[in-house]
Structure formats: C-alpha cells, structure tokens
C-alpha cells in the first residue's frame, strides 16, 4: 500500500470573479521512503496540492470540492480540525519557501523547538533540549547550543532553512512536504540543503514530496516527477525517463527554457528556448487541453477535450496527457 | 574598445551598531579594494554568494549608495563623489533594473505615469502627449500592450512587472544598465522570456550591462565576462566560457560545483554549516573553507595576478590557483 494516495483531487477558490479551479483533478501516490517532485510554473496548483494534503487550504475561500487523500489508508478529506491536528506536523510535516515568515521572530529558536517537541507526549524540559540538540546535529549545524539561544533574524538563510527542517523532523514525520525549499537560497547553499534532504530520506526513511520549478532540483534529488500545468498533472514518470525523454510539449519547453540545457559551444544559437504566452485563466479554463494556446503541436483535436492518459514507455511507469506525444519525441 | 566604466580601489564600509558612548566606531567592510572595468557594449556578470557585496557594488555605481574611498569613472569622469544635483545628467545614461519588481514600482500610480515621469522630469520629451506616445512604443518593445499604460502594478504577473521595469529603465535611452538579479524571482519559463528580451534590447541599442546574479548557468549563458566576488573582494575575472572550463580560483570552482546539473551528481562531503565567525584574520577570507589553503593564505591576502593568454586578460587573486598546467602563460604583476 502506498503511503499517500491522492485521487482526483479538486481544490477551488471562490472569488468575486468566479470559481478558480486551482487544483483540477490531480491523482498520484507516494510510497514509503520515496522522493517525488511536483514541477510546474507559478499558478499551476502545485503549492495548493501540498496545502490540500495537510488540510491547510486558505480559508474561507478555499475548499476541497472532490477527491480523496488517503494517508496510510485513511481518508483525510473532510476531517475536523481537531483530528487533523494530530496529522499536521506529526505524521505529515511541511517546510516552506521562506523560513523567516514561518518562524516567530520574538522567540528564540530554542523556545520554538522545545514547544514543538513538548507538544507531543510527555517530554521534560531537559529531554526536549537534548532532542533539539540532536536534531540540529542531524541537519548539520555545528554549534547547536549557540543556535538554540539565538533569534531567527540572527541566522543566515541557509541556517534558517536547516532549523526549519529540524523543526519539521522533530515529530518523526512519515511524509515531509517541501514547498520550494531552496528557491530563496543561493546556489552553494541550495546544493547543501538538497544533499541534506537526501541524507534525511536515507537515514530516517521519511518520504518527501518536493514542490519546485527547477529541473535541476528534480534531477539531483527525486525518484519520480509529476509535471503540473493549470491545475492538472500533464506528465508523470521516473526522473530518469522524464529527463531523458520528455513526451509532453510543456515538459519539453520547461526543460528547454533552462540555461543549463544550452549545449556548451552552441554560441550560434544565443537565445533560450521559450514558451510564449502565459498560463490560462483558471476561472475560464478551456474545454480541451489547457496548454493548447501555447503549444506548437496543437491541432483541432486538442481544442475539443482534455486528452486521456497514455503510456509513454513499455513498462508503464511513464504516462502523459497529450494527443501528440509521439510527435514530440 | 574603450572602457565605459572604470572602478579603482573602491571600498565601502558600513558603521556597525555600537551602544557604547566613547568606544571607537567599528565598521563592516562590504567592499574592499575592488578594481573592475566594463567595456562599451559588453555584458559583465558579477557572481558571488549572498552577502558578498554584489548588490552594494551595483548600487554604488548607480550612486544609490555612497562610497567610502576609491573612484568610479564613467566615460573618464569621476562620479563617486557627486552631489545629488550633479548626478542628474548621469541618470540619462545609466539605469537599474531591480530584483523585486513589486517593490520597485509605485502601487498607486499607473504604469503609464511611472514610465513617463522620468522622461518629463529630465526633459527628454517636450510634452505629455509625446511622452505617452513614447511609453506605448516602449511597452510594445518589451512585449506588452498599449492599453496597459492605464493599469496599476498589481494587475500584472511577476514576469510582466519585470517587463515594465525594463521599459521604465529604457525610457531615458540609457547606454548602461545595472541588472540586479532580474530573473531570480521568476519561474524558469518566464526567466527564459526575460533573458531573451534583455539580449534583444542589448543588441538593438548596443547597451552595456552589468548583470548581478548567483545562478552560474544563467551567467554563463548571458555574459561575455564574469567577475567573481567573495566577501567584498574580487577574486577572479575571466571570459565566461573560460571560467567555466578552467576556473583558477578555488572559490570559482566551489561556485561551479554547486550548479545543479541534470545528471545525478556526487554528494558534497561538506554538509555542515557553521555560524559566521566575526574574528577576522589578515589573510584570504576563504582560507578557512579552502582545501588548498596553506600557512601563507592565513597571513596575507594574495595580490591580484593578471595573466594574458593569447591576448585575453584573466586575473585572479590566489596563492594556489587551479588549472595552471599551461606553462606558457605570460605572468604580469601589477
């Protein structure tokens, strides 16, 4: 049994302009100890998918309209906030893009960590301190005592993200949702944080759902990838398969837009491949494929209905929602 | 080619907070002895970790932050000690594009008002009508529509706002632009659009760019030459493809290693991070982390060495440079 199974999840926001379908029928599953990535542009619904799993959809406008979220076989959709409290931060933990806003600026790191550790079960003050020191060691902080007595603003961005990860790990979660954990960090620190997440995954067996728009992060860390566009998953597969043979035009465009993909020495072609236009309005989604307007392969068929999933390889591990996936390769 | 911008021995010190009345003021040195030249029509990249002083340098060139000592020459004229009034003619020649497009635009003014304001203020155009016509032209140039001039910043997406920032910077027809991480807040797909746009504009108007960033793969794609900054000191300057194939300085090497490739890489051995130590020794600021450091590195900071390799200048400041197997290099000490 998969650790987490999301099926046909639909999360909407009611606004004065109409219903925004932020997540529009997303299905995927994560096994124990797996690292999976949700990739997409901003506004594609990846963060809302993460928040939906944790029951943190912004209130009062947001609502899960349909679908199931099975965590260890138990459906989380429709749970009361008291019941959910046991899962939030306990079984499933989340780390955010900006650790500074996720911490309380007026308490020391120590105070904040002890509070979390002591909130679950009977833990004495001294024991809590020992656990916090151990956690900070685990995330690669050299002088835990000094960090415990300092305030969030006194730490560097990379340090803060490490503390954030330590806090998330304090209740030994089975699943860690990381929402763009390295986007705000610079390149050298980014690599360290990714290696740290990999190490934690190996040592504690925590499954990780990582939300990102950077294929570099995916390549370095993840076992499988789901590419999202306008609230839907458009391609899913194992990292190696997707990176070597993307079959959805959007995945291909996203990868082509990365400067890393520019062949060394190809100075003649001195422009990046770009996906023209912008994502569609999530209130008035087109009936057919949502990528229709920006796609080079689009035909009349694409306009009519959203394509069904087709397998892109023989083993059936990679699938794609596109009529023209054979032409893309 | 002549130098458009020449920076010599530039230093910036920020006073540190000090609660004691008679204690001598302490300073934090953000930039230390920076020497840099930017040629006309060139795109120079400036890379470094966060806190290395990249943005401070960009702001000092623009006159937004004053310098402590040293000189900045634009077209041969000293611009680092100008009064606010004297700076005005230089705003016609140099402009800046900021990382955070949201906070650099006025939320209470329409896009049209914000683009025409500098034109009218500095007298590039004679009338309001002309300014409006110009701003529509500019918006079209950066890929926006003419009706957008009546809209407010919050009505646009991040990529569109960055385009507005570019249009506003171009309003005065500058010849030099400082780009302070123009794409680091954007998605990869939008980043590609903006980088391509900046390249188009650079070719069309023959502009000179100083591109500040920390993403080395963007810099490699975008820039002709790269300067690597570490804790306020420039440690290496080289042509961008040379820096990538053969970094001389261990810092450049470290930055290059941190670029995420699309293949799985070996994990870095150093997973630990220590708090910033405040005690400074006189030597190279990287020596504590450097694998190649010797006793010499802790004693004094290395001089900048300039090498000419088939006519192309390359400079670095290190006692133990990497990739030095080519012996026929002509070494000159300044």
DSSP-assigned letter for residue A88: B
Q: Cis (ω within 30 of 0) for the bond into A60?
A: yes
Q: What would the mean pLDDT of B259-285 be, rounded to a whole number?
A: 63
Over residues A30-81, the pLDDT tens digits come to 999 999 999 988 888 899 999 999 998 988 889 999 999 999 999 999 888 8
Structure token pair of residue B325: 């197997």
Do B268 and A219 lie within an 8 Å CB cutoff? no
From chain A, pick out residues whose CB is under 8 angstroms from the CB of B261.
Answer: 216, 219-220, 260
Residue A281 placed within a domain: yes
Structure token pair of residue A178: 């990381």
Most B CBs within 10 A among A193, A215, A248, A257, hence the mutation to make, goes to: A257
Residue with more model confidence, A327 or A321:
A321
Q: Are strands A35-39 and A62-71 parallel, antiparallel or unpaired?
A: unpaired
Query: Would you state the pLDDT for residue B268?
Result: 57
Is a pLDDT exceeding 60 seen at residue B188? Answer: yes
Query: Would you state the pLDDT for residue B329?
Result: 46
Do B260 and A257 lie within an 8 Å CB cutoff? no
User: Residue B249, Cα to own-chain centre: how many angstroms?
Assistant: 19
pLDDT-derived band at A108 (thresholds 50, 70, 90) equals very high
Q: What would the mean pLDDT of A20-29 be, rounded to a whole number?
A: 92
| Out of B192, B264, B276, closest to residue A274 by CB | B192
For chain B, domain boundaries: 107-173
Query: Would you state the pLDDT for residue B257?
Result: 82
- Give the domain range for residue A31: 4-85+217-328
Three-state secondary structure call for residue A158: helix
Cβ atoms of residues B181 and B213 within 8 Å:
yes
| Out of A194, A198, A272, closest to residue B195 by CB | A272
Query: Would you state the pLDDT for residue A312?
Result: 82
Residue with more model confidence, A256 or B139:
B139
Do A219 and B264 lie within an 8 Å CB cutoff? yes
Lowest mean pLDDT among A124-133, B15-24, B189-198: B15-24
Cβ atoms of residues B138 and B129 within 8 Å:
no
CA dihedral angle for residue B77, residue B82, residue B86, residue B89, rounded to 10 degrees: 50
Residue with more model confidence, B322 or B114:
B114
Query: Would you state the pLDDT for residue A298?
Result: 86
Three-state secondary structure call for residue B38: strand
In B80-99, the residues whose Cβ lies within 8 Å of chain A are none
Which residue, B285, B218, B210, B215, is CA-closest to B249?
A: B285
Give CA–CA dist B158/B277, Å, rounded.
37
Please provide residue A210's backbone torsions phi and psi, each rounded to the nearest 5 degrees. -110, 130
From chain A, pick out residues whose CB is under 8 angstroms from the CB of B215.
Answer: 187, 259
Do A219 and B216 lie within an 8 Å CB cutoff? no
The residues, ordered by sequence, that sit 6+ positions from B220 with a Cβ below 8 Å of its Cβ are A259, B226, B240, B241, B244
Is a pLDDT exceeding 70 seen at residue B260? Answer: yes
Is a pLDDT exceeding 60 seen at residue B196? Answer: yes
Residue A271 placed within a domain: yes
Query: Would you state the pLDDT for residue A107?
Result: 94
Residue A18 placed within a domain: yes
Cα–Cα distances in Å, from A288 out to A27, A45, A251, A303, A305? 19, 18, 18, 4, 4
Minimum distance, in Å, between the CA of residue A194 and any CA atom of chain B: 9
The average confidence (pLDDT) of chain A is 88
What's B251-280 look like in SS3? HHHHHHHCCCCCCCCCCCCCCCECCCCCCC
Got the DSSP string for A287-328?
SS-TTGGG-SS--HHHHHSPPPPEE-STTS--EE--TTHHHH
Is a pLDDT exceeding 90 seen at residue A11? Answer: yes
Is a pLDDT exceeding 80 seen at residue B332? Answer: no
From chain B, pick out residues whose CB is under 8 angstroms from the CB of A142.
Answer: 272-275
Over residues A153-200, the pLDDT tens digits come to 888 888 899 999 999 998 889 999 999 888 878 777 888 889 899 999
Query: Would you state the pLDDT for residue A266?
Result: 46
Query: Would you state the pLDDT for residue B271?
Result: 54
Query: Would you state the pLDDT for residue A261?
Result: 67
Give CA–CA dist A40/A235, Å, rounded.
11
The average confidence (pLDDT) of chain B is 84
Give CA–CA dist A53/A288, Å, rounded.
27
Over residues A224-279, the pLDDT tens digits come to 999 999 999 999 999 989 988 889 999 988 888 888 766 544 444 578 888 887 78
Query: Would you state the pLDDT for residue A327?
Result: 81
Give CA–CA dist A9/A112, Å, rounded.
33
Which residue, A181, A254, A193, A47, is CA-closest to B187?
A: A254
Query: Would you state the pLDDT for residue B280?
Result: 59
Residue A202 placed within a domain: no
From chain A, pick out residues whose CB is under 8 angstroms from the CB of B226.
Answer: none
Give CA–CA dist B73/B77, Å, rounded.
5
Is a pLDDT exceeding 80 seen at residue B82? Answer: yes
From chain A, pick out residues whose CB is under 8 angstroms from the CB of B187.
Answer: 41-42, 213
Structure token pair of residue B284: 């190279």
From chain B, pick out residues whose CB is under 8 angstroms from the CB of A217.
Answer: 260
Give CA–CA dist A159/B276, Å, rounded.
10
Is a pLDDT exceeding 50 seen at residue B43? Answer: yes
Structure token pair of residue A186: 């610079």
pLDDT-derived band at B272 (thresholds 50, 70, 90) equals low
Please provide residue B8's backbone torsions phi and psi, each rounded to the nearest 5 degrees. -130, 130
* Dihedral sign computed on CA atoms, order B59, B192, A255, A13: positive
Residue A199 placed within a domain: no
Question: How many independent structural domains does chain A possess?
Answer: 1
Could you report the predicted ipTM of this complex, rounded to two decimals? 0.79
Over residues B158-181, the pLDDT tens digits come to 888 999 999 999 998 899 999 998
Do B244 and A270 lie within an 8 Å CB cutoff? no
Over residues A118-129, the pLDDT tens digits come to 987 788 999 999
Residue A124 placed within a domain: no
Query: Would you state the pLDDT for residue A106?
Result: 94
**Any idea what the CATH number is for the domain that residue A49 is in?**
3.40.50.300
DSSP-assigned letter for residue A141: B
Residue with more model confidence, B184 or A70:
A70
Residue A192 placed within a domain: no
């Amino acid at each position: 049994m998969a650790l987490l199974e999301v099926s046909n999840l639909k999360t909407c926001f009611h606004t004065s302009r109409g219903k925004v379908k932020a997540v529009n029928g997303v299905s995927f599953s994560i096994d124990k100890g797996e690292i999976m990535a949700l990739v997409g542009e901003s506004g594609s619904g990846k963060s809302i998918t993460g928040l939906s799993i944790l029951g943190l959809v912004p209130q009062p406008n947001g609502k899960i309209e349909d679908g199931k979220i099975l965590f260890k076989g138990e459906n989380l959709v429709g749970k009361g906030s008291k019941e959910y409290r046991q899962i939030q931060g306990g079984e499933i933990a989340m780390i955010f893009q900006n650790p500074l806003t996720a911490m309380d600026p007026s308490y020391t790191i120590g105070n904040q960590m002890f509070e979390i550790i002591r909130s679950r079960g009977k833990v004495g003050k001294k024991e809590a301190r020992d656990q916090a020191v151990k956690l900070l060691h685990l995330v690669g902080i050299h002088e835990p005592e000094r960090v415990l007595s300092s305030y969030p603003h006194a730490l560097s961005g990379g340090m803060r993200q490490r503390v954030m990860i330590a806090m998330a790990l304090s209740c030994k979660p089975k699943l860690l949702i990381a929402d763009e954990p390295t986007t705000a960090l610079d390149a050298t620190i980014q690599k360290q944080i990714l290696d740290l997440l990999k190490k934690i995954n190996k040592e504690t067996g925590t499954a990780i759902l990582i939300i990102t728009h950077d294929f570099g992060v995916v390549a370095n860390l993840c076992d499988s990838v789901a590419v999202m566009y306008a609230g839907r998953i458009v391609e899913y597969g194992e990292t190696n398969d997707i990176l070597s043979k993307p079959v959805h035009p959007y995945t291909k465009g996203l990868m082509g837009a990365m400067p890393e993909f520019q062949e060394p020495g190809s100075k003649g072609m001195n422009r990046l491949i770009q996906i023209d236009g912008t994502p569609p309005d999530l209130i008035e989604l087109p009936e057919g494929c949502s990528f229709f307007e920006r796609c080079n392969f689009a035909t009349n068929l694409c306009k009519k209905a959203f394509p069904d999933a087709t397998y892109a390889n023989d083993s059936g591990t990679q699938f794609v929602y596109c009529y023209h996936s054979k032409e893309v390769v | 080619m002549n130098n458009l911008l020449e920076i010599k021995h530039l230093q910036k010190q920020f006073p540190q907070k000090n609660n004691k009345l008679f204690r001598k003021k302490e300073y934090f040195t953000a930039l230390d002895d920076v020497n840099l030249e930017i040629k006309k029509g060139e795109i120079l990249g400036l890379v470094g970790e966060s806190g290395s002083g990249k943005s401070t340098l960009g702001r000092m060139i623009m006159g937004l932050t004053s310098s402590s000592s040293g000189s900045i020459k634009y077209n041969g004229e000293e611009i680092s000690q100008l009064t606010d009034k004297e700076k005005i003619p230089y705003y016609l020649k140099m402009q800046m594009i900021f990382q955070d497009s949201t906070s650099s635009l006025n939320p209470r003014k329409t896009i049209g008002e914000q683009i025409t304001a500098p034109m009218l203020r500095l007298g590039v155009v004679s009338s309001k009508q002309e300014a409006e016509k110009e701003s529509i032209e500019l918006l079209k140039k950066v890929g926006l529509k003419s009706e957008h001039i009546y809209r407010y910043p919050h009505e646009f997406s991040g990529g569109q706002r960055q385009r507005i920032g570019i249009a506003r910077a171009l309003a005065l027809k500058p010849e030099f632009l400082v780009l302070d991480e123009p794409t680091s807040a954007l998605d990869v797909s939008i980043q590609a659009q903006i980088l391509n746009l900046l390249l188009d504009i650079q070719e069309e108007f023959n502009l000179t760019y100083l591109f500040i960033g920390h993403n080395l793969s963007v810099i490699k794609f975008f820039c002709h030459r790269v300067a690597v900054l570490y804790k306020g000191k420039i440690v290496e300057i080289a042509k961008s493809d040379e820096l990538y194939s053969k970094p001389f300085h261990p810092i450049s090497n470290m930055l290059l290693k941190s670029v995420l490739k699309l293949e799985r890489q070996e994990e870095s051995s150093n997973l630990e991070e220590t708090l910033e130590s405040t005690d400074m020794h006189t030597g190279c600021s990287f020596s504590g982390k450097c694998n190649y450091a010797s006793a010499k590195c802790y004693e004094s900071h290395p001089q900048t060495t300039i090498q000419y390799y088939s006519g192309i200048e390359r400079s670095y400041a290190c006692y133990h440079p990497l990739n030095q197997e080519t012996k026929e290099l002509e070494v000159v000490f300044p």
